[in-house]
Structure 1
Amino acid sequence: MGQVIGDILPIALAIAISPMPIMAVVLMLMSAHGRGASLAFLLAWILGVAMVVTIATIAISPASGDDDGPSRVASLIKVLLGVATLVLAFRQWRKRPEAGQEPARPRWMATIDSMTVGKAFVTGAVLSTVNPKNLALGLTGGVTIGAVDLGAGGAVIAIVVFVAIASCTVAAPVFAYLTAPDRVRAPLDGLRVWLEHHNAAVMAVLLLLMGVSIIGKGVAGL
């Protein structure tokens, strides 16, 4: 169990550090439906991450094959996911704005000010499941958990730990704003501006490091 937790920690942290959901939830907190929208986004984010990692865990579970099969298959999948992560890192690096250039904000972010609770939930679900970066990392986390026979209880604990870490940076602004809105408004807005300008570079470096690490672990298991 300890080894698995150690292996999934950096993967979950890579999801947690992803700037896009943090920017989205901060913008929601300052919108007309801030409280309801941000809570709906957070709930959808948690459910989405949990769904991806759980499906991958079940699919690669040692119970679905022979003693050597799942481990070898899991290692090969890790290599493929690592390569996909490196491709995403390259694409993110190319998207970074030039010096002095204002970063282009995704179109859906322009609608956050008027976003309803339902739309916020859908946005959180999409970002946590369909977004290529989070999907690749979530699948990697699930493969890492499923490759080891932890039993049902151990797998559930590992998944809960993974989801908790991956969601902490989305949950923290929400709970901070709900408890002390006036105090955290300015710091949150400053964080949003910084992330908006450095989103591509942060994700590129993060994905590069994760991709190399994932490939290394996959090759070691072949």
Structure 2
Amino acid sequence: MHQVIGDILPLALTVAISPIPIVAVILSLLAPQAGGTSLGFLLGWLAGIVVVGAVVVAIASAIGLSTHGSGSTAGAIVKLVLGAGVVLLAVRQWRSRPRHGVEPKAPKWMAAIDTMTLPKAAGLAFLLSGVNPKNLAMILAAGVSIGSAGLPLGQVVVVLAIFTAIAGCTVALPVIAYAVAREKARGILDELRTWLVAHNAAVMAAVLGLIGVALIGKGIAGI
């Protein structure tokens, strides 16, 4: 189990430091109905990671991506393909970064967060965490690592819980900070939002590139 935890930690951290969900939860905290909107976003974010992660783990286990024999080779090929896909995402992120002096354009859904209810915020967060290509690639890689390790069900649950906790911590922390010190947190969160929007593409390109190369290396080593 310890080896699997080591494999999923960088993947979970990549999900955690993704700027877009952090910006989204900050916007939900600055919305008129901050309590309900931010809580909905947090619940949807965690639910997306858990649901997609559990499905991938179940599929990896069912099709026999074990750590022995042909299953090991199949698992290595999956990691190799995922790694190549993540590197391509990194290149795309880097090419989409705003040029010097150009104001970055925020997605249209960010402007709609102000008016979102708890269910709508939860639905948006679920899509951002479980369906967004960048996060999906990380969750797929983590699910393959967990599902191919041949762990008993109890350990699978523990490892998936650890992945979810780390991946969701940067969304949960602003919600907790806002609940504890609302007025002080508003200024800090607004400054953080501005910085993240400006540097989103560059940050994600660097992180995705490193993770993609690491996955390719693991894939090659396992073939």
> Which TM-score applies when normalising by structure 1?
0.96
Map of 1:115-126 to 2, 5 A cutoff? 115-126=116-127
Deviation of 1:156 (Å): 0.8
| Cα pair 1:62 1:70 within 8 Å, conserved | no
After the TM superposition, which residues 61-140 of structure 1 pair with which residues of structure 2 at under 5 Å, given as runs?
61=61, 64=64, 67-140=68-141
2:12 matched residue in structure 1 = 12
**For 1:62 and 1:47, how far apart are their aligned partners in 2?**
22
Q: Do the aligned partners of residues 154 and 82 (structure 1) sit closer, same or farther apart at CA in structure 2, a change above 3 Å counting? A: same
Structure 1 residue 155 displacement after superposition: 0.8
Aligned partner letter, 2:137: A
State which drifts further: 126-135 or 110-119: 110-119
- Where does residue 3 of structure 2 map in the other structure? 3
RMSD: 1.3
Shift of 1:62: 7.0
1:205 maps onto 2:196 in alignment: no
Q: What is aligned with 2:179?
A: 178
User: 2:86·2:134 contact (CA, 8 Å) conserved in 1?
Assistant: yes
Q: Please tell me the residue identity of whatever aligns with 1:73.
A: A
- Aligned residue for 2:142? 141
Aligned-partner Cα distance in 1 for 2:160–2:154: 10
The count of aligned residue pairs is 222
Identity between Structure 1 and Structure 2 (%): 50
Identify unmatched segments of 5+ residues in structure 1.
none
- The residue aligned with 2:60 is 60
1:133-186: CA deviation from partner (whole Å, max 9, x where unpaired): 000100000001111111111111110000000000000001110111111111
List structure 1 runs of 4+ shifted beyond 3 angstroms. Answer: 62-67
Shift of 1:118: 1.7
Shift of 1:79: 0.7
Partners of 2:25 and 2:187 in 1: CA distance: 15
Contact 1:62 1:71 in 2 (8 A): no
Q: What is the TM-score when the length of structure 2 is the normalising length?
A: 0.96
Q: Encode CA deviations 1:44-69: one digit per residue, 9 max, x unaligned.
A: 11010111111111111278477423
- What SS is found at the alignment partner of 1:61? helix
1:1-36 deviation line (CA, Å, top 9, x unaligned): 111111110000000000000000000000011111
Tell me the distance in 2 between the aligned counterparts of 1:64 and 1:88.
28
